[in-house]
Structure 1
């Protein structure tokens, strides 16, 4: 498991937003706005880790289960913007965060409402946590769509 930087250390670790990026070919197809996604832009330093987690997810869940649970609905990775409601850069600006199924895991929803908070998603979270990625949902009970290669 990698020890990722804290959010405050991301610029030094990952570089300026828009730099040090690579294209990651996904181990399973995802969709974004109904269109098939086979690749994503991600920071080079966390790309191999993300690929390992996604590969494990592909082995733990069938394609139909990934679709049913929203694990194949891509919500984005790189997006050079501040955090919602804040002025500090989002982890998406460093391309070290990935969102899944945003419609059923909205930012302010807690475990009582978010789809990815359900028991049948446990293996999904375990795959990320084995790589040291952090879920805001599991740690703070909001933004269940989001996983990041940065500590809080």
Structure 2
């Protein structure tokens, strides 16, 4: 589960930097996003150090993170009473994510009931400074170029995630149109996960 963007000090928040992002910019192609191994050079180094321990760089966060508002009502996947109004991501990924959520809202018929049915109202996370679950390199969440939706029905390791169902594939397609990679087809499926990055070199 990933730390989120909204009105609580426990969740990464940058409401004062929410931007009105232009939807008319052409969609990003898959080749436009960096390889996973190149995220640091593309998005900057989010790592700071305090007392020799690695932690998020406050300067990097201030320079790069913005909040993309959601056009529907949403909540934290782990707490249905915790309202979520936006996703905190890197400024370079934000225009694309803005177009994606606008497209999804239209494809859902601007219906909150459809958003709830498909799982887009259950937010798993956006920016979160942490390594990947098996250690090693930083997660794409640490660069602000990944988001998670509906982790309860698209869990890590689930080979039949909810977003893979025919009636829900429009969610995956909306992200793919903008060049985002979906984790549902990985060797270790991560169906909740979408990232603005390409497959790592040599993998």
Identify the TM-score tier after normalising by the shorter chain.
over 0.9
Gap regions ≥5 residues in structure 2: 1-26, 47-56
Contact 1:27 1:51 in 2 (8 A): no
Distance 2:126 2:86 in 1: 11
Match of 2:51 in 1: none
Q: TM-score, normalised by structure 2?
A: 0.70
Larger Rg: 2
Match of 2:165 in 1: 118
Distance 2:188 2:113 in 1: 27
Number of paired residues? 150
The 4+ residue runs of structure 1 with deviation greater than 3 A are 138-141
Which is worse superposed, 137-146 or 69-78? Answer: 137-146
Pairwise CA distance, 1:140: 4.2
More helix by share: 1
Match of 2:36 in 1: 7
1:73-125 CA distance string (max 9 Å, x none): 110011111111121110000010000011111101112xx211111111111
1:23-50 CA distance string (max 9 Å, x none): 2222222111212211221100000100
Contact 1:134 1:151 in 2 (8 A): yes
- CA RMSD in angstroms comes to 1.3
